[in-house]
Chains A and B, each alone.
Chain A
């Protein structure tokens, strides 16, 4: 049973660039949520996707955008990268966004902005 898969595992980008991170949810899950975890901090909610629509959003600027595909996989895009965007980006999948069944995290993408 495949868990949550994220790619790439590590990424180094320059300030001002754009980045796309990818997530495949656990088999049977239909909802994907994205979190940003800065060093020494707990994960912060970015947004959540269900049925290819953004259902909820945290306190992140519009530079952070996302997409969910018909197969439930998802992308997180960050434009105009800042040094402060350096963090571990975690994807979590669950079943039925309003019920939040089986919240499962991927191993994350470590983004470094230089």
Chain B
């Protein structure tokens, strides 16, 4: 069964801290990995990763994929209260289940002032 596991489930940090969120996966036909930020309802896109070892960056956020060890990390530096959200990791399947997304349960990040 295709599975995506995120850790930790929740995290409380103070403004200015750096956090690392983890996502591991076991799927039959990997196509790509997506990171989303979900504040209230709509998940908003952060990164798409398809190749190992290539870091994607956007401001204070960065992410990298390791296809050999089957995991990805999302780093947030100099955290701000506006970073408080649920961060979702999703694997995009290929093959017969083309472009079906398998999500993890998410990491709830709370950034305190």
Residues of chain A at the chain B interface (Cβ within 8 Å): 4, 31, 33, 35, 40-45, 48, 56, 58, 88, 90, 92, 94, 97-100, 103-108, 110
Contacts and interface: CB of A to CB of B under 8 A. Distances in A.
B45 A43 contact: no
B23 to A, nearest CB: 11
17 contacts: A33-B99, A41-B105, A42-B6, A42-B106, A43-B88, A43-B101, A45-B100, A45-B102, A48-B99, A56-B98, A94-B99, A98-B99, A100-B92, A104-B45, A105-B36, A107-B41, A107-B42
A108 B98 contact: no
Find the residue from B40, B45, B100, B103 having the highest chain A CB count within 10 A.
B100
Given A41-B105, A100-B92, A48 B45 contact: no
A103 B34 contact: yes
B43 interface: yes
Nearest to B99: A100
Contacts of A43: 43, 88, 90, 101, 103
